Structure 1
């Protein structure tokens, strides 16, 4: 069992241990020449960045010097990310508003997968119901306040932290790289991910909108113990090379320092990544850290129309928009803004999944072809007045009207009969069914539940004496 909280303070590195100067010749110490006065030379002091994030996982030794570091992770294993702060502006903030918000996410590194990120994540969700791509290990985390895991974003977590205190967040990546490749050739051919952290500062109103810092690193996720085997294989490959070739590779480190990057752009279904999000570029992205629900609830729950009805081919553009909103497809109202019912019904399942993603595309396909749900009980009833009964021929039958029951109760049947007979429901004081030997049996919930489906009845109204109500008899 790991008792992380009880570790002594000397295990926590100082900022100087992480903010090491590069080993490039540009930053080498100046030569101390004998003909120069040493006191005239400017003393260079290392400049520490305001923030830095360190992933406590070793980097791969098989990465060349001018390439980005690559770190291997095991699926479902908890990895520590240390949140280091040297921010000078913390002294100007009141202690009550000193917390910062950080949004951690797992995203694709390859641009090809970024174009279909939404579809890739929804497909993964269908094959892993109830699971998340990114999770936070709260018991191991230190200094993390109010961790938030949004069910609608499987690859994102949020948390608050105090930059003046020691903070470590432990994350778990539950997907593997090979799940997002067409050919399952093992972890080495899997799709690389990026772990990115965006940090925001809160204002006086409590909303975190001011961006402070973003950092990311490239990772590959293997099945349990697979990252350890891959790290060992890379080390052996590099050691077999000549000394000259080994100089072309980076020196592996026990931890991975996440490099500063641009903030993650605003989530938009029509976004086209002109540049790789998370990598350094000149693009300025607008940050909107609000939560986005993929399937909003229907705006009107009191709608009298059935949400499960299929779309009519004669539906106009306005009717189609209202149908999309009723069936919880409000996110795609703009996408189908010029579609009529006939236009939408002509689209195939493949077309809808390409536009709306796998999950919503399949759901929209089923909704378009939905049929009315069969009622639990169907009755056929004809009305008959006493005068008509006396004068009607015995071989003449009236016209029947259907009555559909969902709750299958006496109260529901009373309301249906009142509508059918054009009488207020509160005026029907009694309702009974004709029994053997001409007796009248009081209608109850048990009797309604035991009625045979598609039974036929004749409803007769009789005026009650000394009352304004009626007695309805079913024969």
Structure 2
């Protein structure tokens, strides 16, 4: 950017425009992979107050008064051109895209059955990281149990293999595992033959 020159009483001063951080210029990124459902689109069954809350949550607060009496179905019925006419070009396109956004599909789906249970829980992994899987495995443990820091996966011939990002990326999609605690702070994921 060019510096701005101004003179006050014979003195020449150079005023540089303020430098903006990328966060101030770029839009917010979607929510963390731990809960991608927070980014879901507006439901057609949403009431007017739920629609107002959705608009505010998705940074359309300035348009909440405009859509005060709109239900989810009313807002979803509007065409792209209608929304652009109401909100202006930039916000109209952004609102239309937010309303019609598709849910992000998980990269990996894993089914886990904690020891002592017969029912499997499904874990959807979006980032395919060891930390993401560990976070989701902790939700399957009783709340009173000690935090687990280490996860081992039963490898070839039952060899315990430390869970890493690379190992998570290479887990087969739709695979099933049994989860057991082998030490106070260590979990073991063993593949089941199902």
* TM-score of the aligned structures, taking structure 1 as reference length: 0.32
Q: Which has the higher helix share?
A: 2
Change (3 A) 1:400 1:347: same
- Alignment-derived partner of residue 94 in structure 1: none
1:431 Cα deviation after fit: 2.3
Q: Which runs of 5+ in 2 are unaligned?
A: none
- Alignment-derived partner of residue 148 in structure 2: 428
1:428 Cα deviation after fit: 2.9
Is 1:339–2:70 an aligned residue pair? Answer: yes
- Alignment-derived partner of residue 351 in structure 1: 82
Mapped to 1, the partners of 2:131 and 2:89 lie a distance apart of 43
Question: Contact conserved, 1:409 with 1:449, CA < 8 A, in 2?
Answer: yes
Ranges of 4+ aligned residues in structure 1 off by more than 4 Å? 136-139, 144-149, 304-307, 423-426
Mapped to 2, the partners of 1:462 and 1:137 lie a distance apart of 62
Mapped to 1, the partners of 2:174 and 2:36 lie a distance apart of 27
1:312 Cα deviation after fit: 0.8
Change (3 A) 1:331 1:147: farther
Question: Contact conserved, 2:105 with 2:126, CA < 8 A, in 1?
Answer: no
- Alignment-derived partner of residue 59 in structure 2: 328
1:460 Cα deviation after fit: 3.1
User: Which structure has more RCO (C-alpha within 8 Å, separation ≥ 6)?
Assistant: 2
Question: Contact conserved, 2:108 with 2:174, CA < 8 A, in 1?
Answer: no
- Alignment-derived partner of residue 177 in structure 2: 458
Q: Structure 2 matches for 1:23-172, cutoff 5 A? A: 141-143=5-7, 146=15
Selected match of 1:408 from 128, 134, 140? 128
Q: Which runs of 5+ in 1 are unaligned?
A: 1-135, 152-294, 389-397
Mapped to 2, the partners of 1:321 and 1:147 lie a distance apart of 40
Mapped to 1, the partners of 2:133 and 2:3 lie a distance apart of 54
Is 1:308–2:28 an aligned residue pair? Answer: no
1:409 Cα deviation after fit: 2.5
Q: Please identify the structure whose Cα radius of gyration is greater.
A: 1
Which string of whole-angstrom CA distances, capped at 9 and with x for unpartnered residues, describes residues 385-441 of structure 1?
A: 3xx7xxxxxxxxx54322122342223212211212335674435422222223222
Q: Give secondary structure in 2 for the equivalent of 1:421.
A: coil
Question: Contact conserved, 1:384 with 1:458, CA < 8 A, in 2?
Answer: no
What value does the CA root-mean-square deviation take over the aligned residues? 3.5
Mapped to 2, the partners of 1:147 and 1:427 lie a distance apart of 51
